[in-house]
Amino acid sequence: MPEVMGELGGFLAEIRRQAQQRALAIEQEAEKQASAILAETASQIQQSAGEVDRKAARQAEQEAKQIRARGELEARRLLLTSRETLLERVWKQAEARLRALVHSPNYRDVLKRLALEAAGELAEREITLAADPVGHDSLTPEVIESWSAESGITFRRSVQPAAAWGGLLASSGRIQCDNTFATRLALTSKTRREDVFQLLTANHHADSRPAQMD
């Protein structure tokens, strides 16, 4: 009986030993698998981080392009706005000077030049003139006769003045030449905008240069 119990104890001890070895082996294998999983996870995290960085870089670059584009658009808008403001100021100043010219002593000479210019455009021998109310009063029979004698063209004074604040209308039958100040100024503002702006900016750059010391 003691021998049987001894053999049983040895058998149980061997089972425990084998179980411990198996558990250790399982634990070691689990650690290996866990390490492999952790390494793979770290690799995936690094790849994901790299992809995130690349996506973030692309997104940042795209946003930077959009910001630059918006900045360029805003700069162009401000440039156009300032340009229009500058030109509008020029036209207003020009109109103010023309309105003042209507009341100047030499306004009749201006009307004479406008009448002769209109005659050249109409290419007619008889032309009727209608100036603004102020200028129309200065077109006396003596003045009209003098202009006709100098130019060889028969000028006539319209019964009614032109509905304008400056300049004159010249007509021959149904043909008309509009030499009023308002029309000429509007035409200039449309056809000479670029020239006027270039002249203004050129003058601005010249004025802003530092003076050279001799």
Question: What is the CATH classification number for the domain harbouring 193?
Answer: 3.30.2320.30
Q: Does residue 201 lie in a domain region?
A: yes
| Contact by Cβ (8 Å): 175, 119 | no
pLDDT, one tens digit per residue, over 32-86 is: 766 666 667 667 667 766 666 677 777 777 877 777 777 666 666 666 666 677 7
pTM score of the predicted model:
0.56
Residue type, 17: R
Q: Does residue 159 lie in a domain region?
A: yes
Q: Does residue 37 lie in a domain region?
A: no
Q: Does residue 2 lie in a domain region?
A: no
Dihedral of CA 147/151/155/160: which sign?
negative
Least confident interval from 10-14, 79-83, 200-204:
10-14
The Cα-based distances of 80 to 7, 18, 26, 195, 201 in angstroms read 106, 90, 78, 15, 13
Task: Determine the Cα–Cα distance for residues 143 and 145; give it in Å rounded to an integer.
Answer: 5
Q: Does residue 53 lie in a domain region?
A: no
Q: Does residue 24 lie in a domain region?
A: no
pLDDT (average), residues 4-12: 44
Q: What are the structure tokens assigned to 113, written together? A: 């030049």
How many separate domains does the chain show? 1
Tell the burial category of 200 from Cβ atoms under 10 Å away from its Cβ (0-12, 13-18, 19+): middle
Q: Which domain holds residue 150?
A: 61-207
Q: Does residue 22 lie in a domain region?
A: no
148: phi then psi, degrees, rounded to nearest 5: -65, -40
| pLDDT number for residue 22 | 57
pLDDT at 93 over 70: yes
pLDDT, one tens digit per residue, over 101-132 is: 999 999 999 999 999 999 999 999 999 999 99
| pLDDT number for residue 6 | 45
Task: Determine the Cα–Cα distance for residues 98 and 163; give it in Å rounded to an integer.
Answer: 16
Task: Determine the Cα–Cα distance for residues 54 and 43; give it in Å rounded to an integer.
Answer: 16
Q: Does residue 98 lie in a domain region?
A: yes
